[in-house]
Chains A and B, each alone.
Chain A
């Protein structure tokens, strides 16, 4: 059974049109992460939540926002997607920051028209 669930698997949006990607988890993990992965590159951490505490990476563009309304759900909002934002977006969870290794969802592949 999937433990980190991302919807949808494929998302197409228009240049500049806001889009939201969703992630849910059944593991009751404290930490939820969003990674961006472009073709043939390593996953790049955008931000993470430790419970309700939000931690943004220094080089994450302001265009990217996140919400975590409860333990189980986390959303990635891209306010004005550009062509360079086309990528696979991976949600991951871990029990805590220090000891847990992230469990990844299957990702949402975002295309920009």
Chain B
């Protein structure tokens, strides 16, 4: 089985930096990914870490430490449009073929 923990909500002002932590427990591990979901919309893929270290994509970066079963998503130069829910997800080899399981999500609210 697998479980993921991430904070339920974060509030910050425009231009700030926000870090969303994710800790996980899995029976196997095939990478940590992050999804963004705006209210009423579909989850959209943001980033993936299969190996330890930092992956940078524009204003967003994601980090993984497999030895700590921990990762984070870093949102820089926050903009109002970044207000959304952010989900970490792990792929593990459980009983059902590399199932992708999601954390409960972190609601990020950006204030002017």
Interface residues of A, Cβ cutoff 8 Å to B: 4, 40-45, 50, 55, 57-58, 90, 97-98, 101-107, 109
Contacts and interface: CB of A to CB of B under 8 A. Distances in A.
Contact of A106 (B42, B45, B96, B100): B42
Given A40-B105, A101-B33, A101-B48, A45 B42 contact: no
Contact of B42 (A58, A101, A104): A104
Interface of B: 30, 33, 40-45, 48, 87, 95-105, 107
A98 B99 contact: no
A31 to B, nearest CB: 10
A55 B97 contact: yes
B44 A104 contact: yes
Contact of B104 (A41, A101, A106): A41
Contacts of A42: 87, 102-105
Contacts of B105: 40-42
List the 5 closest A-B pairs by CB distance, nearest first: A42-B102, A104-B42, A106-B42, A97-B98, A104-B43
A98 B30 contact: yes
B33 A45 contact: no
A45 B99 contact: yes
Nearest to B33: A101
20 contacts: A4-B42, A40-B104, A40-B105, A42-B87, A42-B102, A42-B105, A44-B102, A50-B97, A57-B96, A90-B42, A90-B43, A97-B97, A101-B45, A101-B48, A102-B100, A104-B43, A106-B41, A106-B42, A107-B41, A109-B40
